[in-house]
Amino acid sequence: MGLALYTAKSTASGGRQGTTKTADGSMELSLSLPKGLGGSEQAGTTNPEQLFSLGYAACFDSALQLVAGKEKKKITSSVTAEVSIEKQLKGFGLSVKLIAEMEGVTQTEAEDLMHKAHAVCPYSRAIEGNVTVKKKAIAK
């Protein structure tokens, strides 16, 4: 383990039907089980997969900007992270599809940046070998 530069702290209670909140009070969210998992999916609530997809999309977009900057490429980008929960041999697991749209580069450059961002993104590195991640780069 390395030296922690920043630590986010959150607490959840009540599982998928409960609440989650950050220690600093900046967010408090109600949770409900999605209909696809047999729940009632209440309006105005979220779930762990949505929260993971938010964080992953933001982190990956930041990684794209980092690698593009190192290569002296100026891009405008947006990243969509689709996080799925799926039944696996040993319980449940996740799969991810990352779609990165980039302006300012060719399709080949966009695919190269996507590959390089995946190698440095902390979320990608954390789940490497445990979660299937499909990547799609789109040059605009």
* Residue 89: CATH number of its domain: 3.30.300.20
41 and 90 fall within a common domain? no
Give pLDDT, residue 1: 73
Cα distances (angstroms) measured from residue 132 to each of 39, 95, 127, 136: 25, 5, 9, 13
Find where tokens 């408090």 sit: 28
Cα distances (angstroms) measured from residue 112 to each of 63, 74, 106, 139: 13, 14, 10, 11
Write the CATH number for 26.
2.20.25.10
39 and 69 fall within a common domain? no
Under DSSP, the state recorded for 16 is G
The boundaries of the domain holding residue 29 are 8-46
Domain count, the chain: 2
Q: What mean pLDDT is predicted for residues 19-44? A: 94
pTM of this structure: 0.94
Q: What mean pLDDT is predicted for residues 16-40? A: 95
Give pLDDT, residue 2: 86
User: Does residue 2 fall inside a structural domain?
Assistant: no
